[in-house]
């Protein structure tokens, strides 16, 4: 995807402006670096990192879910919960802003406008189906809307949207295939393991998860996608939910310099390395499609040296890390901090709006060159 009618000088002006602007307030838009890419639509597959309201609509009990009510959404411009698992905007919202597009509506919002794309991500979703996970003694307690289900929704949507002309209509669209797969590992770690170091059974899931993501990329290419970002996983060993579960029983040498559990971060890196290899294979197979890796791990790492509160959740209660799985954010009596912009973690599992904004600012600079927007 090249810049249409944009001079090299103008491109460098856009880059310099984005990098030199002072940090905006938590409610401010993302810097517009990716606007040079000229994407006119965005399509998102994924889980709670990206869900802008699908789970609360697909479930009969959706309105009763914690992130369907305050304090979720308290920093959002409307000061109300939208189904986003944060205090405000998510990364996909900041990507849309950076591209000069409206925020993506969840596909389950039947009254929404999908002219500029759609969001198929579902909080709690896995890459693998519930049946495959069950074979590995892992249960998805949240949703059956796995990656295959989301792909079927996408196929149905394009059948109506494209009218057999998807290749033309989607030529300037950006597809985000993930982040997805993190919940496959989360459910495994949190359900049947007593210790973070007992990873052998979960390692068996990695090639299956990566193969499913690879299959999803091929499916969206068959739909007409020509520009695809495939994100990796965050450093999961830095999340309060894991530090709470495993950290209290861990030895000092099991933490890194940021008080993250290094073995869990090594697992995330293992997944990401396999995903990068799969992306390279896909790029070789489909040279007419731009397929790039979204380095969410590295983008998260840059938050660790910026003065944020790293270990504690903003919204939660109890323990060293303000997280208790029996009294989570959104439960009665559980309050949020007054300054979420100082925190990386919103609820012990998901990040704050400010953390997501800064991650996208980092990713924009990285993806700008990978997507060849400067050409």
Catalytic residue numbers? Answer: 48, 347, 350
Name the residue with higher pLDDT: 61 or 65: 65
Q: Among 22-31, 173-182, 191-200, where is mean pLDDT lowest?
A: 22-31
> Residue 211 pLDDT more than 50?
yes
Annotate the chain with three-state secondary structure.
Answer: CCCCCCCHHHHHHHHHHHHHCCCCCCCCCCCCHHHHHCCCEEEEECCCCCCCCCHHHHCCCHHHCHHHCCCCCCCCCCCCCCCCCCCCCCHHHHHHHHCCCCCCCECCCCCCCCCCEEECCCCCCCCCCHHHHHHCCCCCCCCCCCHHHHHHHHHHHHHHHCCCCHHHHCCCEEEEECCCCHHHHHHHHHHHCCCCCCCHHHHCHHHHHHHHHHHHHHHHHHHCCCEEEEECCCCHHHCHHHHHHHHCCCCHHHECCCCCEHHHHHHHHHHHHHHHHHHHHHHHHCCCCEEEEECHHHHHHHHHHCCCEEEEECECCCCCCCCCCCCCCCCCCCCECCCHHHEEECCCCCECHHHHHHHHHHHHHHHHHHCCCCC
Q: Among 22-36, 54-68, 143-157, 274-288, where is mean pLDDT lowest?
A: 22-36
**pLDDT the model gives residue 200:** 79
Please write the tens of the pLDDT for every residue from 71-124: 999 998 777 899 999 999 999 999 999 999 999 999 999 999 999 999 999 999
Please write the tens of the pLDDT for every residue from 131-153: 999 999 899 999 999 999 999 99
**pLDDT the model gives residue 28:** 47
**pLDDT the model gives residue 18:** 36
């Amino acid at each position: 995807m090249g810049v249409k009618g944009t001079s090299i000088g103008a491109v460098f002006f856009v880059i310099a402006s984005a990098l030199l602007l002072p940090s905006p307030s938590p409610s401010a838009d993302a810097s517009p670096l990716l606007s040079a890419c000229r994407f006119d639509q965005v399509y998102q597959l994924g889980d709670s990192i990206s869900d802008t309201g699908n789970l609360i609509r697909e479930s009969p009990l959706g309105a009763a879910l914690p992130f369907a009510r305050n304090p979720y959404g308290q920093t959002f411009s409307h000061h109300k919960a939208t189904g986003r698992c944060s205090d405000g905007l998510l990364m996909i919202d900041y990507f849309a802003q950076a591209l000069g597009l409206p925020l993506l509506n969840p596909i389950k919002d039947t009254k929404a406008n999908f002219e500029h794309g759609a969001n198929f991500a579902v909080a709690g979703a896995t890459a693998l189906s519930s049946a495959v996970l069950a074979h590995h003694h892992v249960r998805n307690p949240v949703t059956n809307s796995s990656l295959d289900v989301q792909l079927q929704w996408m196929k149905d949507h394009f059948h109506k949207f494209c009218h057999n002309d998807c290749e033309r209509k989607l030529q300037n669209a950006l597809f985000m295939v993930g982040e997805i797969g993190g919940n496959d590992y989360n459910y495994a770690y949190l359900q049947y393991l007593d210790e973070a170091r007992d990873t052998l059974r979960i390692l068996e899931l990695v090639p299956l998860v990566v193969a499913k993501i690879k299959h999803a990329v091929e499916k969206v290419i068959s739909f007409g996608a020509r520009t695809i970002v495939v994100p990796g996983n965050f450093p999961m060993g830095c999340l309060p939910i894991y530090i709470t579960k495993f950290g209290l029983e861990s030895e000092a040498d099991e933490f890194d310099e940021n008080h993250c559990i290094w073995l869990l971060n090594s697992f995330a890196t293992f997944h990401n390395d396999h995903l990068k290899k799969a992306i390279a294979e896909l790029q070789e197979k489909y040279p007419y499609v731009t397929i790039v890796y979204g380095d969410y791990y590295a983008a998260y790492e840059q938050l660790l040296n910026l003065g944020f509160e790293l270990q504690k959740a903003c919204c939660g209660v109890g323990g060293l890390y303000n997280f208790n799985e029996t009294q989570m954010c959104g439960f009665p009596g559980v309050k949020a901090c007054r300054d979420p912009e100082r925190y990386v973690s919103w609820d012990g599992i998901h990040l704050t709006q400010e953390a997501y904004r800064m991650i996208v600012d980092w990713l924009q600079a990285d993806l700008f060159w990978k997507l060849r927007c400067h050409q």
